[in-house]
Structure 1
Amino acid sequence: MPSYTVTVSTGSQWFAGTDDYIYITLVGSEGCSERTLLDKALYDDFERGAVDSYDVRVGENLGEILLVKIEKKKYWMQDDWYCSYITVKTPSGDYLEFPCFRWLVDDKEVVLRDGRAHLPQDDKTSLVKQHRQKELDSRRKTYRWKEWQPGFPMSIDADRHKDLPRDVQFDSEKGVDFVLNYSKAIENLFVNQFMHMFQSSWSDFGDFEKIFVRIKNTISEYVMQHWKEDFMFGYQFLNGCNPVVIEKCLKLPDKFPVTHEMVSVSLERELTLEQEIEAGNIYIVDYEVLDGIRSNCTDPCTLQYLAPTICLLYKNTQNKILPIAIQLGQTPGKDQPIFLPTDDKYDWLLAKIWVRSSDFQYHQTITHLLRTHLISEVFGVAMYRQLPAVHPVYKLLIPHVRFTMAINTKAREQLICECGIFDKARGVDNKEELPTYFYRDDGYRVWEATKSFVSDVVHIYYTSDETVQEDGEIQAFIKDVCSFGMQDFDHCEFPKFLKSREKLIEYLTVIVFTASAQHAAVNFGQYDWCSWIPNAPSTMRRPPPNQKGLADVNLIIESLPDRGRSSWHLGAVWALSQYQEGELYLGMYPDEHFIEKPVKAAMETFRKQLAEISSSIKKRNNGKKLPYYNMSPDQIPNSVAV
């Protein structure tokens, strides 16, 4: 009687094992095995991290094994089980791999294809075609779109983390509860001693150091010591935690009437302001998106203010980026002065603080929340809805959407509020013009390595542009992102159809890069740059000044966050900047969704390229007072998971 050896691997994460009954059915091209209980009798089966083997006897040879059906039935109470993979050794000695990497909950069955990736047009038999369609039909019922807030990208239909499909929940909720993490951070940083004075102001700038005493961080300490300097202010637009808002100024906007006479003392090349603009030495940061957002009350008696600031920046002869003019609103006029470095030092300092506050709000709501978290979730939901597990693009993307829906649902449940809009071209891609723009330079290298890897994978499975066009599943994925995830917004530039391998490569590279490198660049530097409160105020308690000569130390202190909010701010940026336990970094793919040797070779090449980039960044940073490591691949997690 022919016998197949079935090996079952149980995941190593918390609670992965099960005491429930597990049954298996082998489905071949010439027949099916009996539904077989997997039970070693004298031993516990399916323990966490275990690899168990069983013999499945059949009356006749089943032919080519096409599918493996796994069923879980309750023993005495429901006990979830995480199955990593199944291998089947045939009577002829061949080994077949069936990746699973998913949870079986309740009385559930999972039907697995072998680990080889297949495009939909590659499947020829009705059996595998039906399996493919059945999987997608089930997924679309489970992964549903929902509008979280008007004007935002769509999210998954789940109000709470526990409402999510089990496969996209955190393995454990330990360490991902925002409220708990903030409380721990506040306690660990010794800032809880100020909570009883929640609404009281600080006395002076030095007073902020009282909640800074536990910080042992080179960049944070450097920021604390130099935050008032124009160099530090300008440098952050290049390599701080929001290095995406600076643009080359090609023409001064009418709403920002800066004249040469205003800034001539700041210009070093004996050129007029217009000539400096033509020479490419003038940059601008404009927070117009904040215009029209009303002040809000965080408690019955405390107003919080925002300002849609505009800042003009100058690249001096030492290639440093320095601020030369600041306007605190979008409408010029007598009550909207343009602040200059030649003004009183407190007027100028307060104007810079207002820009930093605008930058903090923009960073948290747009750069960080919208453009990494929410966009990555759109790709993840569309992927689950439109791409079966056997599709090569599903296998490519699955590591890069890991826990994204979970962290976003947690955030919607506990943390985030309204805001949002999109970016535009920035004109800062010339390395000679901005030689210390490490975010750009490191990012390009990571982008190219990622694109090269994605290209290798795409060319393995798509033999021509026509193959892309004929792939109904990938086209449905592309359309779902734009038409449903992005709700066909007028300003949405995502395509609805892809006609070539090159366009597919670019599209998939955007997904992988956004979820990994871009998120790392704007997330993990928050503690470095935002823990010194005056450098990144999370709120302003006084309105922006409408004339010069009003600012002094007292006005600045009264404008900055009070003691309690400063304490919560510090706890928040600390918690958000922590890597997760068991973090998987870019290029690390322990779950082997791909089994083909050419893809594994491409992964190995990718890892080598990333290691070279990490090594060169480490060498560059050696000895620097302000090292930049946020785009170092060895510190870039695969996905948006925090």
Structure 2
Amino acid sequence: MMEKSLETVRGMRLRYGSKKKIKGTIVLMKKNVMDCSDVCASVVDMFYEIVGKGVSFQLISSAHGDPANGGRGKLGKAAYLEKWVTKVTSLSAKFSISFHWDFETMGIPGAVIVKNYHYSQFYLKIVTLHDVPQQGTLHFVCNSWVYPTRRYEYDRIFFTNKPYLPGDTPEPLRLYREEELIHLRGTGSGMLKPWDRVYDYAYYNDLGSPEKGTDYYRPVLGGSKEYPYPRRGRTGRPANEKDPNTETRLPPLSLDIYVPKDENFSRVKLSDFIGYALKSLGQVLIPEIRSLFEETFSEFHTFQDVLDLYEGGIKLPDGITLLKIRKHIPWELLKELLRSDGERFLKFPMPDVIKEDRTAWRTDEEFVREMLAGVNPMLIRRLEVFPPTSKLDPNLYGDQNSTMRREHIEKDMKGLTIDHAISSNRLFILDHHDAMMTYLRRINTTSTKTYATRTLILLEDNDTLRPIAIELSLPREDGDKHGAVSQVFTPCQTGVEGSIWQLAKAYAAVNDSGYHQLISHWLNTHAVIEPFIIATNRQLSVLHPIHKILKPHFRDTMHINALARQILINAGGVVEATVFPARFAMEMSSAVYKNWNFIEQALPEDLLKRGMAIRDPTKPHGLRLLIDDYPYAVDGLDIWSAIEAWVENYCHLYYPTNQTIQEDSELQSWWAEIREVGHGDLKNAPWWPKLHTQQELIKTCTIIIWIASALHAAVNFGQYSYAGYLPNRPTVSRRLMPKPGTCEFAEHESNPDSVFLKTITAQFQTLLGVSLIEILSRHSSDEIYLGQRDDPEWTDDDRARRAFREFSSSLREIEKRIMERNYGRRLRNRWGPVKLPYTLLYPNTSDQSKIGGLEVKGIPNSISI
């Protein structure tokens, strides 16, 4: 070993001599370019440049330690950027730099210290050294905001892109590696500022505004058996004076909520987000004008009124109302609301579900097809017992089992019996009963009037589905412990019974819409992934190979979650205003989180649990689907397997044995913190992997990547296509089913469409809800998709880069297969009566695809919106 080192040094001496000047390139973005021109900052920066002290870079040896500095790597002489002030910069500017470095005594650099003596911060993308001995080119991938030195009590340090397990880290870099993680963990106290780089945990105690009154009180989610929840990023804001358990909130329209600066949206994305938010939500986020809009917009009277949202916009309010609105809305915003014609406003893009056919959404086939290929295709399950049973505690809730009877069902089963249908795997159910029933009494004390629903579904011979019964249940008036009172409705296509059936489907759709938004979307992707992001930054160094594979899948998530807490899921926020559980929305998601299971987030385990597949080693992915034409499962299994293969190839590069996993101190600390802190309310659950074996590590990383990429894409980016037309997926019901002999039933007989529209989401809520999902369904113009990397130099390991190229190639093959499945419309569940192909799990790996917008395809790397 000693002879090899001496030979290396001799080679350096012969080729480069004792000293050498290393040329480098720095790529960064100035703050005043990112935002707006800052004259004061420019003047101060010029002064520092004149005195020769602007931005310094100091290389650290990876081969030789300094005994006087605790054995940390020796430091080279500081070098400074050239032409900072005079250089005209674009968004991404290159600067030259020169380092004096003695390779004979210092060896190869392994890190660099960056000091910013300027007035303002800048975004450092990458530092590149050229003609480095034995290396050629050396990259320090930074992607970080560097604030002025006065903001830090430590040096900003960036490492090369060479991955190391903790035990393999060169000795001169070990303390730097450990200290950097300590800085990122923070002290656990104090209000965090924009320049702080602290990743820490907090409960969801920032949703309520108790100072506004009892209507704005919300329980703390997390830290208790009653309200368990994943942790969110800590901001350190002071406690609310009215309730010390609640964190003080920012002003209603402020988007300046703390997340570590490096987790913020890019300039392009933030600009897109704010622009669409102003166009779509600005008018309803200002309390003073909300009442004016509610006075103007009351009910849709006909389905044409709903279509006018997309075909022509809504007629302007009268002049007096418009003048009142003008007092509260800046003229620039009002012009955006008026759109282009100046006469009609709030005109939305045409949702895909009604593009080809304005009425096909009302068919029974489309109603159930969306359970396989819509925005919430992961709840349908095989029925194993008839009648369906409840898991609610009968001591608390009485008899909650279904009241469906064979005579309700078999008359529409074309001679098939219930028993035979169950034994032949042809009966399925969409069951929202238990999740809704425990909150239904409280929900129905508000303006919402709805049911807990069960929908029974038959698999036809042609692999399509048909609904055969819907059960609507309410708590009994004499108390929860006495069970439920239920009604069962069966299909009818004509007359009063036909319109009653349409209402029954609407109530089931309301349940599914609420569950989708609060559980499938928010809880099961956004909320559960945030603890993984925090723990990764606190416990895994950027040098760690697992940090490198996971980091792209965390982009923008903490920021969008923080914005959600500020304006969407807070008390009185947009979600409470548009989704039927209203003030109980987040509390209800906490109740569901009690049964969350990390392992069951894996697609194969999820399909097996729901009885939608059985193990079959002769089939692709080792599973046989019970519904062959199940678009979410078919495409999803392809994506899952591609991710798993990529993770397996990557992990085997660094963990050749189980022992290497068990001896990795950072990895074990990371996993312990996720279980015991990030998801601490479920820390005693028996299903957590121990993370002692290669297979456990591979599965864990695959699940994390699946949740952050494909699962989120499946539940998010089709929202506008399917739910942008609210009658198809109403979010609220405001009336119960009309009873024969009542005035409501007479009204239903005379004008069923009007009653349908008065039952589901009101006009103002529709405007607000459609505005929200238009924002959430848009791909950012700078999106980075699965199989892509924003940094070509993310690692210097050629083996890892080769494995990643194979992963990208496999995704392109999957794209071809998805297009083939959709070709010719042979598979009816992929298109349905609405003629909308299933592309939500189409990866979209081509670089030409970065166009943003309401694309119903593309799997972003991360939960970025």
Whether these two folds match at TM > 0.5 is yes
For the pair 1:439 / 2:632, whether they are aligned, the reply is yes
1:132 offset after TM fit, Å? Answer: 1.5
- Matching residue within 299, 305, 317 for 2:461: 317
Deviations 1:497-521 (A, max 9, x none): 3111111111101111111111111
Aligned to 1:439, the other structure's residue is in SS state helix
**Superposition map of 1:199-218 within 5 A:** 200-213=298-311, 215-218=349-352
For the pair 1:33 / 2:76, whether they are aligned, the reply is yes
Deviates more, 1:173-182 or 1:404-413: 173-182
More RCO (CA 8 Å, sep 6+): 1
Aligned to 1:292, the other structure's residue is in SS state helix
Deviations 1:527-548 (A, max 9, x none): 1111221111121112356789
For the pair 1:262 / 2:307, whether they are aligned, the reply is no
Deviations 1:88-144 (A, max 9, x none): 54367743222222121231532222211111121251x322112101101111101
Q: Are residues 481 and 224 of structure 1, via their aligned partners in 2, closer, same or farther at CA, if it must alter by over 3 Å? A: farther
For the pair 1:459 / 2:652, whether they are aligned, the reply is yes
Residue type of the alignment partner of 1:375 = V
Residue type of the alignment partner of 1:143 = Y
**Superposition map of 1:116-265 within 5 A:** 116-123=162-169, 125=171, 127-141=172-186, 142-148=198-204, 149-150=221-222, 151-158=228-235, 161-172=256-267, 173-177=270-274, 179-183=277-281, 195=293, 197-198=295-296, 200-213=298-311, 215-222=349-356, 224-252=358-386, 253-254=388-389, 255-265=401-411
Q: Are residues 118 and 544 of structure 1, via their aligned partners in 2, closer, same or farther at CA, if it must alter by over 3 Å? A: farther
1:576 offset after TM fit, Å? Answer: 1.2
- Matching residue within 773, 779, 788 for 1:588: 788
Aligned to 2:145: 103
For the pair 1:90 / 2:185, whether they are aligned, the reply is no
Contact 1:201 1:558 in 2 (8 A): yes
Find the aligned partners of 2:261 and 2:741 in 1 and give their Cα distance.
57
Find the aligned partners of 2:463 and 2:364 in 1 and give their Cα distance.
13
Deviates more, 1:495-504 or 1:428-437: 428-437
Deviations 1:199-255 (A, max 9, x none): 522213333222132544543335742122110111010000000110101113341
1:182 offset after TM fit, Å? Answer: 2.2
Find the aligned partners of 1:510 and 1:13 in 2 and give their Cα distance.
37
Deviates more, 1:285-294 or 1:400-409: 285-294
Contact 1:291 1:330 in 2 (8 A): yes
Deviations 1:535-562 (A, max 9, x none): 1112111235678994552432221122
RMSD of aligned alpha carbons: 3.0
**Superposition map of 1:506-585 within 5 A:** 506-544=699-737, 550=745, 552=749, 553=752, 554-585=754-785
Deviates more, 1:39-48 or 1:528-537: 39-48
Contact 1:236 1:243 in 2 (8 A): yes
For the pair 1:426 / 2:621, whether they are aligned, the reply is no
Find the aligned partners of 1:362 and 1:334 in 2 and give their Cα distance.
20
Find the aligned partners of 1:46 and 1:388 in 2 and give their Cα distance.
32
Q: Are residues 584 and 259 of structure 1, via their aligned partners in 2, closer, same or farther at CA, if it must alter by over 3 Å? A: same
Q: Are residues 527 and 580 of structure 1, via their aligned partners in 2, closer, same or farther at CA, if it must alter by over 3 Å? A: same
Greater helix share, 1 or 2? Answer: 2
Contact 2:29 2:123 in 1 (8 A): no
Q: Are residues 556 and 41 of structure 1, via their aligned partners in 2, closer, same or farther at CA, if it must alter by over 3 Å? A: closer
Contact 2:28 2:92 in 1 (8 A): yes
Aligned to 2:841: 631
For the pair 1:7 / 2:28, whether they are aligned, the reply is no
1:399 offset after TM fit, Å? Answer: 0.6
Deviations 1:598-642 (A, max 9, x none): 111111111111011112212322343231000001111111011
Find the aligned partners of 1:228 and 1:340 in 2 and give their Cα distance.
15
- Matching residue within 468, 473, 477 for 2:666: 473
Find the aligned partners of 1:458 and 1:281 in 2 and give their Cα distance.
40
1:84 offset after TM fit, Å? Answer: 2.3
Contact 1:83 1:101 in 2 (8 A): yes
Aligned to 1:189: none
Contact 1:486 1:492 in 2 (8 A): no
Higher-Rg structure is: 2
Deviations 1:315-338 (A, max 9, x none): 122222111111122769894211
TM superposition score normalised by structure 1: 0.91
Find the aligned partners of 2:686 and 2:783 in 1 and give their Cα distance.
32
Aligned to 2:583: none
Q: Are residues 402 and 212 of structure 1, via their aligned partners in 2, closer, same or farther at CA, if it must alter by over 3 Å? A: same
TM superposition score normalised by structure 2: 0.68
1:24 offset after TM fit, Å? Answer: 1.6
Find the aligned partners of 1:204 and 1:535 in 2 and give their Cα distance.
15
Aligned to 1:329, the other structure's residue is in SS state strand
Residue type of the alignment partner of 2:232 = S
**Superposition map of 1:465-504 within 5 A:** 465-489=658-682, 492=685, 495=688, 497-504=690-697
Contact 2:676 2:683 in 1 (8 A): no
Residue type of the alignment partner of 2:711 = Q
Q: Are residues 62 and 45 of structure 1, via their aligned partners in 2, closer, same or farther at CA, if it must alter by over 3 Å? A: farther
Find the aligned partners of 2:260 and 2:354 in 1 and give their Cα distance.
39
Find the aligned partners of 1:440 and 1:110 in 2 and give their Cα distance.
46
Deviations 1:242-292 (A, max 9, x none): 001101011133411322211112213x33112211111011111121223
| Percent identity of paired positions between Structure 1 and Structure 2 | 25
Listed as ranges, the gaps of 5+ residues in structure 2 are 1-17, 36-40, 46-53, 65-73, 187-197, 205-220, 223-227, 236-248, 250-254, 285-289, 312-347, 390-400, 477-482, 571-585, 601-608, 615-623, 826-834, 845-857
Aligned to 1:344, the other structure's residue is in SS state helix
Deviates more, 1:19-28 or 1:395-404: 19-28
Listed as ranges, the gaps of 5+ residues in structure 1 are 187-191
1:11 offset after TM fit, Å? Answer: 4.0
Aligned to 1:95, the other structure's residue is in SS state strand
Find the aligned partners of 1:320 and 1:515 in 2 and give their Cα distance.
30
Find the aligned partners of 1:309 and 1:208 in 2 and give their Cα distance.
26
Aligned to 2:362, the other structure's residue is in SS state coil
Q: Are residues 556 and 144 of structure 1, via their aligned partners in 2, closer, same or farther at CA, if it must alter by over 3 Å? A: same
Aligned to 1:409: 562
Contact 2:475 2:484 in 1 (8 A): no
Aligned to 1:64: 107
Aligned to 1:641: 864
**Superposition map of 1:320-469 within 5 A:** 320-329=464-473, 335-342=485-492, 344-417=497-570, 418=586, 419-420=588-589, 421=592, 422=595, 425-429=609-613, 431=624, 433-469=626-662
Residue type of the alignment partner of 1:165 = P
Aligned to 2:160: 114
Residue type of the alignment partner of 2:552 = P
Q: Are residues 356 and 544 of structure 1, via their aligned partners in 2, closer, same or farther at CA, if it must alter by over 3 Å? A: same
Contact 1:118 1:391 in 2 (8 A): yes
Aligned to 1:212, the other structure's residue is in SS state helix
